[in-house]
Structure 1
Amino acid sequence: MSGRGLIILVAGLFVIGGTLYTTIFQRSETLTTNVVNSYNVEQAKNIANSAANLALSQLKNNSSWRTGYTAVQMGSGYYWVTLKDTVFNGSVCIRVIATGKTNYRTSTEVAYSCTAYVSSGFIPPAVKAAISTNNNIETLGTLTVDGRDHDLNGNLVSNNGTFGIWTTKNFNQRGSSKVGGTFSSTDYSPSRPGSSNVIRTSQTYPGGYPGSPDSALGGPSMGFAEGTLKSMAMSGTNGGQYVTNPALLRYPLSGVTYVELPSGGSWSPANIEGTGILIVHNTAQNAVIRNINFGTFKGLLMADDIDKIHNTIIGAVIGLSPTPPSGNCIGNGSGTVLYSSQVLTSTTATVSGTGGSSNVLAWKE
């Protein structure tokens, strides 16, 4: 090979070698960048998921917590959490959005978000209708009992309700009282007489009708051993109160309000302005709440004997006694009882330990 040819060969090898080196270097740099990016994404994902679980744990301890977190450091990154009450697939729930970031406030910042929808309560098993009782029941006056579903403010939610009246005994609709409800996803407006589709009499409660507030919420299997609700009221959690004299109650009601009257005792007239779970009960099952003339109540009313509802109740009513001492008239004035699944689930969230993994309706990433 001539000297000129050798020079050309060597020069060519240098060019090829340089090109190969550049290509390998570029690919190596790209590979390194991809590995680093993947690592950062995975780190941001782990931070977001950990933050979401921290929020769920906080909700389990405090179902009313909605503060969230802002720019909290975790390892080499930071996280943010926001919470909002919403409705998901027809269920009242809490939306938890958690965001994790690595290389925060740099040109290589990576963010990752996940969203959890957490059930914020349940419909108590003893809620079979807008009004559920274990005794003969009678309505008079212009009382309206509406088992159609309603939202937190009493607005109609179509085709999602339940019966108007459910009782183990008989029902007598008198005066100008009206009953409505939902059957097989069909709404029946309150009427006189009410449709037989939304009035259930001579019913059998599986395992026997509950005779106490705790059993009405499901008993030990649902986390409500006897005395649980009373203890919650005594603790004052979420504004709960326990009294033996209703004159000592503070308003508006909230949380679990437990009025334990002496045997044969009566709370009359009754102001039930507020929210939550209101219980009027004693071990003899003869505590009476009578002439409920004042206050709009959003929640679940459970009492041994409910005598004359004259106010507005959004949620549900449960009568506990099979032989209420005051008789069978649950309302003879202008009262209104509106069934609301949203009110019930948001109410029971205050006593159901919201935030556990079993309460997560959906998890999206």
Structure 2
Amino acid sequence: MGRFALILIIGSIVTFGISNFRMNEILKDASVSSYSYYNSNVAKNIANSVAQMLISRVADTTSFRANTFQSVTSIFDGSAQYKVKDTTMDAQNYIMIDVIATYGSASKRSKVFTQLPTGGGGFFPNTVKAAISTNNPIRTLGNLDVDGRNHDINGNLVGGSGTLGIWTTSTFSRSGNSKLAATVSGTDYSLSRNPPANNYAVSQTYPGGYPSTPDSILGGTANGYPPGKLKQIAQSGYNGSQYTTNPASLTYPLKGVTYVELPSGETWQSMDITGSGILIVHNNSRNAVMKNLNSGTFKGLLIADDIIHVHTVIIGAVIGLSPNPSSGNCIGNGNGDVLFSRDAVQQGVSSTQPGTNNFGFSRHRIIVRQWFE
């Protein structure tokens, strides 16, 4: 065999070897890329699937929150962690669902910003700053418990998703055996006669001025509640609503919007508040007095010009409108409980709105505002 032929054969072998090696490298890279792409897609699908399941859960139980990461150990041969918490973005309140999913070597994250709708499913008013929010000095005495931790509609504790015990534009004083509890940054603080200072807020300034009417508590004209709207709903009888200037004429249990409009400076005294929805005691002078709430459990949002002596159970939230309460706003001097409930407030607000059809397994519709992957 000639030298040239030998060189040609060796060259061909070397060229084939290099080409074969390069082809194997290309195939290996393609396999790795395909594997990574597959893992990435599955991780993304897991993240989005968990987010969808959590959306359904929040829609079904609007008070559900998970302020620290919770684990899903096995889903589609992968795993996930999630948080569900209240947050604010661009001055709007949202329920944020944050999911991190892992499959193989890939991890993907989905963040979903949701809101309950203002049509039929209720919403949580920004004006509800605490279990009790007031525009005046506030005192607690006796055995009154003001609990800002979140509770369900039946008063059972729902951890990590509550609010302050008391919020006021003025001062707060506690004495007797009265107790306060709150949730601060996802941490629950138990009822105490000596609550930490971060369990309540005093000398606060409400942006744009403290709301002066029940309609402004729900957002006013911009949110579908122009002046007189709640009174109009009460007068219409919608969802069992009632309007009266004589509280003795009320029928029980209270439902929908119960609007008691008292003459200037008059007092509704020693009443039963059994029922749900939104209970309003108000007049244009903001001096309608609600005194000695002695019996019945109310579930929802209670709005009164001047509220004195809670001696029963309120599940939801209380808002006082008057800057000049008649009795220094002694909110309670006997046995009573104000238990903050996000669900009770939202259900109370929903009683003012036309209903919507349910979907899936959920009791409420929920709006997805942003979905980030």
TM-score normalised to structure 2 length: 0.65
Which residue in the other structure is 1:344 paired with?
Answer: 345
Counting only pairs closer than 5 Å after superposition, residues 240-279 of structure 1 correspond to structure 2 as: 240-279=241-280
1:166 maps to a residue whose letter is W
For residues 233-261 of structure 1, give each alpha carbon's deviation from its aligned partner in whole angstroms, at most 9, with x where no partner exists.
00000100000010000000000000000
Give 1:354 deviation, angstroms: 4.9
The Cα shift of 1:89 comes to 8.3
Name the CA distance, whole Å, in 2 between partners of 1:170 and 1:159.
26
Secondary structure of 2:294's aligned partner: strand
Q: SS of the residue aligned with 1:231?
A: helix
Look at both structures and tell me which one has the larger radius of gyration over its CA atoms: 1
Q: Which amino acid aligns with 1:361?
A: I
Specify whether residues 88 and 224 from structure 1 end up closer, same or farther in structure 2 by C-alpha distance, changes over 3 A only.
Answer: closer
Q: 1:86 to 1:208 in 2, by over 3 A?
A: same
Match of 1:156 in 2: 157
1:86: which partner in 2?
60
- Residues in 2 aligned to 1:352 and 1:242: alpha-carbon distance in whole angstroms: 17
What's 1:128 paired with?
Answer: 129
Equivalent position SS for 2:335: coil
Take 2:145 and 2:173, find their aligned partners in 1: how far apart are those partners? 14
Deviations 1:178-223 (A, max 9, x none): 0001000000011011221111000010100001100111111111
Q: How does 1:94-173 map to 2 (within 5 A)?
A: 119=117, 120-173=121-174
8 Å CA contact 1:288–1:326 kept in 2: the answer is: no
**Counterpart AA for 1:345:** Q
Query: Hey, what's the Cα distance between the residues in 1 that align with 2:207 and 2:189?
Result: 26
Identity of aligned residues (%): 56
* 3-state SS, counterpart of residue 233 of structure 1: helix
2: CA distance, partners of 1:173 / 1:184: 23
Measure, in 1, the Cα distance between the counterparts of 2:355 and 2:194.
40
1:1-365 paired onto structure 2 within 5 Å: 86-87=60-61, 90=64, 119=117, 120-355=121-356, 360-361=366-367
Which residue number in structure 1 is paired with residue 3 of structure 2?
none
Mark the CA change 1:88 to 1:203 in structure 2 (over 3 Å): closer, same or farther: closer
CA distances 1:85-139 after superposition (whole Å, capped 9, x unpaired): 8226838xxxxxxxxxxxxxxxxxxxxxxxxx97421111211000000000000
- Give the match's secondary structure for 1:276: strand
Q: Distance in 1 between matches of 2:171 and 2:328?
A: 13
- CA 1:158–1:263 in structure 2 vs 1: closer, same or farther (change >3 Å)? same
SS of the equivalent of 1:247 reads helix
In the alignment, structure 2 segments of 5+ residues that lack a partner are 1-58, 66-114, 358-364
Unaligned regions of 5+ residues in structure 1, if any? 1-84, 92-116
Q: Is the 8 A contact 2:136 2:324 kept in 1?
A: yes
TM-score under structure 1 length normalisation: 0.67
Distance 1:118 1:302, change over 3 A: closer
Matches of 1:271 and 1:314 in 2, distance apart? 15
Which amino acid letter does the alignment assign opposite residue 277 of structure 2? G
Cα distance in 1, alignment partners of residues 221 and 206 from structure 2 = 17
Q: What's the secondary structure of 2:347's corresponding residue?
A: helix
How far residue 318 of structure 1 moved from its aligned partner, in angstroms, is 0.2
- Change beyond 3 A, Cα 1:196–1:245: same
Structure 1 residues 198 and 244, CA gap change in structure 2 (3 angstroms): same
Counterpart contact for 2:62–2:343, Cα < 8 Å: no
Contact 1:274 1:297 in 2 (8 A): yes
RMSD: 2.2
**Do the aligned partners of residues 191 and 328 (structure 1) sit closer, same or farther apart at CA in structure 2, a change above 3 Å counting?**
same
Inter-partner Cα distance in structure 1 for 2:345 and 2:351 = 10
Change (3 A) 1:194 1:89: closer
Q: Find the aligned partners of 2:145 and 2:223 in 1 and give their Cα distance.
A: 32
Deviation (angstroms), 1:353: 4.1
- Residues 143-195 of structure 1: CA deviation (Å, up to 9, x unaligned): 00000000011000000000000000000001110000100000001101122
- Kindly provide the CA deviation profile for residues 315-346 of structure 1, in whole angstroms up to 9, marking residues without a partner as x: 00000000012322010001000000011111
Matched pairs, number? 254
